[in-house]
Amino acid sequence: MSTALPRRNGGKRVLPGFKLTLGYTLFYLGLIVLIPLAALVLRSFSLTGEQFWIAVASPRVLAAYRLTFGASLIAALVNLVFGLLLAWVLVRYQFPGKKIVDALVDLPFALPTAVAGISLTALLAGNGWVGQYLEPLGIKLAFTPAGIVIALIFIGIPFVVRTVQPVLEDSEKELEEAATCLGATRWQTFTKVLLPSIAPALLTGFAMAFARAIGEYGSVIFIAGNMPMVSEITPLIIIGKLEQYDYAGATAVAVVMLVISFILLLVINGLQAWQRRRAGMGA
Amino acid sequence: MNSRLKAALAAAAFLASAAVSAQTLLNASYDVAREFYKDYNTAFIANYKKTTGKDVKIDQSHGGSSAQARSVADGLDADVVTMNTTTDVDFLAERGVVAKDWNKRFPDNASPTTSTMLFLTRNGNPKGIKDWDDLIKPGVQVVVVNPKTGGNGRYAYLAAWGYIKKKGGSDAQAAEFVGKLYKNVPVLGKGGRDATTTFLQRNIGDVLITFESEVVSINREFGEGKVDAVYPSISIVAENPVAVVERTVAKKGTAELAKAYLQWLYSDEGQEIAVKHALRPRNPAILKKHADVFKPIPLFTVQELFGSLGEAQKVHFNDGGQFDKLYTPGR
């Protein structure tokens, strides 16, 4: 690339006025993100501490947190591996129909999640196209936590592919070739050369897939079976509380979700920064 | 003021006056009443024109009954609400959106139609399900709506509970029976339609507990003969309450129209339209006329056994209530 990008330390800034832009940033974030979330927290304040605790820590709700975070984590981990593979194939190989495959990756972004849920359920239910062959083998996917994981894998895959793809495109083939010339095995080349450079992107993709899965409702609701303690996700608990006009209880659970999700994302962001620093020092 | 702005203002004023001349009514209703109110609105508009000479326009808004009630409470400008559970209207009364004594404003607890809970089995009823007792047999799978997320599920639960109580059983026996019943439940639907899809399209379960009105629409949707409707020895009355949204009609000046709209539901014509959509009419003569559709079975009311739906909600469905106790770990 020959275009001279303004460097951070070069003193050239695209937008003038740090104070103005930062002020605008904070104002905009406040308007779009913080005020709605603050309203959520405030609404849960109508509960006493004890009521709050009962609402957010009953065994049913705890089971729902476990399921939501557990299934999201598994799905994000699966996407981490297979998203990398997909991105790799899309970047490094030419094959007929590549454009179509590339476009297909984005489909879960655009699709209404309910459509995903309904079609996955139709596919995996005991009488579905795939389910009818699995059921005799004793494998039940629809209406079990396994079905939830599948739905979350589906909606999460583009996040990993789309964050890793550009980094892979930028990574230089010559480095890998050099590693091979110096006698590295394929596995060594992968872990010592390739992985460090794409690790931050992979982690970002993982974090986004994970975050998206935690908040997912539409695609999961049809395939979950909604059995308390078994396959009930937290968003359904919130809807259930609203159906009982328990606004305060619903917001209490929502606040807990908000806090856990925020902490998780903060941790992942921290990990990513650490990873980037490490990679930067090694280079 | 420039001329273009003036023209725009004039146009706006014209549109506003046109809107006033034809009054508009918004009916916030529950999900599966969509087809019923579509038919009813056409008939009502024609009748209103004939009797008063005035044109009206009626908009419909449908969704889950409680979700609809919540949006009206939060400010949706509906003129009338037509729900499938009284608690939804009670909630609006608490918020001061509808009259406190809404259930006295129209005849029959302000519920022009009712429905009841029935069983639906697969064609030919292979498991020979006849009554509530058959639902707790080992190996029978029952599909039902989660009482936490749907009125349909609440009525199914209360109907099962009431069956034991009406036989002279104690609360403990009723709890035991209902607990056994839910042990046979493989999938809890989120709402009525969700449960129907699970039962019919996913082929899960041997029997579906649902509203009588849903049975007829299933026959219409999926074709006759796919399912058998089984009338148990006794079941529950589910009232479909209606109310004028005082907050909106005061603002829009549509009080009279809203009242006429709901009142006409009780007319012979209105009741006949309800029959077509498998809602039990309140008019005894019309109900009798259609005895082939609405098989006469002994029915009990929520008030009779549970005080009110609101009280049943507190005892049974709120967090930590009976349902949570019957349906928790250790299964």
**Count helices and strands in chain A by DSSP H and E runs:** 14, 0
Which residue range(s) make up the domain with B185?
117-236+301-326
CATH superfamily of A49-282: MetI-like (1.10.3720.10)
Q: In terms of domains, do B69 and B20 share one?
A: yes
Say what the pLDDT of residue B113 is.
95
In this predicted structure, what is the pLDDT of residue A79? 96
| Residue B300 φ then ψ, to 5° | -120, 160
**A219-229, pLDDT tens digit by residue?**
898 888 888 88
pLDDT at B29 > cutoff 90: yes
Q: Is residue B67 within 8 angstroms of chain A, CB to CB? A: yes
- CB nearest A55 (choices: B150, B204, B319): B319
**Interface contact B67-A54, CB threshold 8 A:** no
Clarify whether residues B231 and B128 are in a common domain: yes
Q: Mean pLDDT for chain B?
A: 88
* pLDDT for the residue numbered B191: 82
Q: What pLDDT does A185 receive? A: 87
Is B262 a domain residue?
yes
DSSP B37-85: HHHHHHHHHHHHHHHH---EEEEEEEE-HHHHHHHHHTT---SEEE-SS
Whether the CB of B329 is below 8 Å from some CB of chain A: the reply is yes
pLDDT at B6 (0 to 100) = 63
pLDDT < 70 positions in chain A: 1-13, 15, 279-283
Per-residue pLDDT at B144: 93
Same domain assignment for residues B105 and B128: no
Closest-CA distance of chain B to residue A226, Å: 6
Measure the CA–CA gap between B56 and B50, rounded to whole angstroms: 12
Residue B140 or A55, more confident: B140
| B289/A280: higher pLDDT | B289
> What's the structural domain count of chain B?
2
Report the relative pairing of strands B242-244 and B80-82 from DSSP bridges: antiparallel
| ipTM at complex level | 0.72
Question: B221 with B147, same domain?
Answer: yes
> What is the pLDDT at residue B330?
42
CB B79 within 8 A of CB B252: yes
Res A175: pLDDT: 85
d(CA B250, CA B270): 26
B200 and B139 inside one domain: yes
Asked if the structure places residue B295 within a domain, the reply is: no
Contact B268, B282 (CB under 8 A): no
pLDDT by residue (tens digit) across B189-230? 888 888 888 898 888 899 999 999 888 778 878 888 888 889
Q: Which of B88, B97, B149, B203 to mutate to test the interface with A (most CBs of A within 10 A)?
A: B149
For residue A104 the two structure tokens come to 């297909």
What is the model's pLDDT at position B331? 42
Give B277's Cβ-side CA count (13 Å radius).
16
pLDDT at site B21: 59
pLDDT confidence of residue B25: 93
- Whether the CB of A66 is below 8 Å from some CB of chain B: the reply is no
Residues B125 and B176 occupy one common structural domain:
yes
DSSP H helical segments within B132-282, as ranges? Answer: 151-166, 171-183, 192-200, 212-222, 246-252, 255-263, 268-276
Average pLDDT over residues B230-235: 94
Is it the case that residue B163 has pLDDT exceeding 90? yes
A174 contact B CB<8A: no
Instruction: Tell me, yes or no, whether B272 and B123 share the same domain.
Output: no
B231 and B155 in a single domain? The answer is yes
Q: What is the mean pLDDT of residues B165-172?
A: 93
Cα separation, B144 vs B156, in Å, equals 7
Higher pLDDT, B29 or B22: B29
Do B90 and B166 share a domain, yes or no?
A: no
pLDDT above 60 for B16: no
- Weakest-pLDDT range from A44-53, A258-267, B72-81, B168-177: A44-53
Q: At what angle do helices A234-243 and B65-73 cross, to 10 degrees?
A: 70
Please tell me the distance in Å from B141's CA to the nearest CA on chain A.
14
List all residues 6 or more positions away from B128 whose beta carbon is below 8 Å from its beta carbon. B134
Residues of chain B with pLDDT > 90: what percent? 63
CATH number of the domain bearing residue B23: 3.40.190.10
Candidate from B190, B318, B328 with C-beta closest to A244: B318
